[in-house]
Copies of this chain bind each other. A is one copy, B any other.
Amino acid sequence: MTRVIVVGGVAGGATAASQLRRLNPDIEIVIYERYRDISYGSCGMPYYIGGDVEKWDSLTNMTPEKFRDRNIFVKTEHEITAVNSKENTVTVYDKNSDTEFTDSYDYLILSPGGSPKKLPAVKDAAQTFSLHKLADLDYIVKFIKENNIKEAVLVGSGYIGLEVTENLTKRGIKVTMLQRDERIYKNIEADMNGVLYEAMTEKGVTLKLNTEIDYVDGGKAVLSNGETIDAPLIITGVGITPNTEFLNSSNITLKDGLIPINKNGQTNIDNIYALGDAVMTHFQHVPEMTIQSALAWPAHRLAHIIANQLAGDRSITHEGLLGTNIVKFFDYNIATFGLSEKDIAEIPHFTVDQKQKNKSGYMKDASPIHIRVYVSKDSGLILRAAVVGTEGADKRIDVLSAHTRLGGTVYDLINIEVGYSPPFSSPKDVINMVGYKAIEKAEDL
């Protein structure tokens, strides 16, 4: 019988296993997960801290027991330490029994994810946490309750930093955010991130730029700027390292520590597939450029593709990603897709900025949306889009994403027929206006 081993049981791996079982009742499926939990909604964890997620249980989709009912065998606390792609075997370390064994596969699905980077200055302090696994969430919530935490230090301003800051604040905890350089949330353009500062001011978050923790002294943190601040809870969100070291001897090609995949979801080795945060793929709209696939949407999409590939339908393939992403920070939403600003600098392009209300301008609760697009001079395609606003920023990035994905140019945005009514847009929505402005701008090029 065909045997499939899945490495990693969080979003990507668990979903791929489920879908494969659905497509093929006979195949043997084993999931090895190196930590305690599988198949949970890690993106929801910050919202459990703040109370928008009320039930812990709702964060978990599948348990090992439920998987067993579907004839999928899950081994938690089991870490894959090596892959032998010639022998089609993996080395498995069972943390519970502290033993190692070998298992063999016909197909291997890699979904190893990443690990949060640790900061040497704080990592040994008892009050330091990252929020990556479900167990991390449990530790944090328990720690907050047991120590009646009223203040916290958040190191980093990525999406985890922002979401955790919002949710700690909602919980009544006063947050000091530290950013080691002078630019927060680098997913968005430096000159478009003003709403983040506004939100912090409105909500009482203290931000210290160009500041790190030098060391922790009991309940205090001594900062690089000379200050000493209360730090009864420290949460770090300073990026992710892909968990791919175990592949070093595997003959699986790695690039910058990531696993490149082809349109079938395959690594360089035919019977080894990969998905999730440790994967490198290409931009859908600029195929010669690569992108790390470290978001939930791509993990779920690739799970479906890989399951179908393994089940024998080779027609369902991966087209690449736009990299559409969004973060909520209090009332503000920030979204982008496409190449990085740095990569775009090398491509002949022009930009179009449009600031316009999210609904008809005469509505008293209308609020501004700022869209910037970077347009290929050659093709008119939107290489990158950035959207900042409150309500409705998510709509605009999704519409831009759907349009660009199908090859729509910036000029053609004028023709997107939005559902118009005063609470939702203008008769010429901000999306349409980006197109009208692009047409004018192109005439002057």
A interface residue numbers (CB < 8 A to B)? 11, 41, 43-44, 47, 51-55, 58-59, 159, 163, 284, 295-301, 304, 319, 321-328, 333, 335, 337, 360-365, 392, 394-395, 397-399, 401-403, 405-408, 414-425, 427-428, 436
Contacts and interface: CB of A to CB of B under 8 A. Distances in A.
B414 A397 contact: no
24 contacts: A41-B362, A43-B420, A44-B363, A47-B363, A47-B423, A52-B363, A52-B365, A52-B422, A53-B362, A58-B362, A59-B362, A163-B421, A301-B414, A301-B415, A324-B420, A392-B394, A394-B424, A395-B399, A398-B399, A398-B416, A399-B399, A401-B417, A403-B406, A405-B415
A328 B421 contact: yes
A428 B298 CA distance: 9
A159 to B, nearest CB: 8
Contacts of A424: 326, 328, 333, 394
A289 to B, nearest CB: 15
Contact of A418 (B43, B297, B360, B416): B297
B11 A427 contact: yes
Contacts of A159: 421
B428 A321 contact: no
A416 B427 CA distance: 25
Contacts of A428: 297, 300
Given A419-B325, A427-B296, A407 B406 contact: yes
A361 B417 CA distance: 29
Contacts of A325: 419-421
A417 B296 CA distance: 11
Contacts of A427: 11, 43, 296-297, 299-300
The 4 closest A-B pairs by CB, nearest first: A326-B419, A58-B362, A395-B395, A406-B406
Given A362-B59, A406-B406, A427-B300, A324 B417 contact: yes
A53 B324 contact: no
Contacts of A47: 362-363, 422-423
Which of the listed residues A47, A337, A398, A428 has the most CB atoms from chain B within 10 Å of its own CB?
Answer: A398
A335 B425 CA distance: 13
A43 B304 contact: no
A205 to B, nearest CB: 18
Contacts of A405: 415-417
A350 to B, nearest CB: 20
Contacts of A323: 417
A297 B417 contact: yes
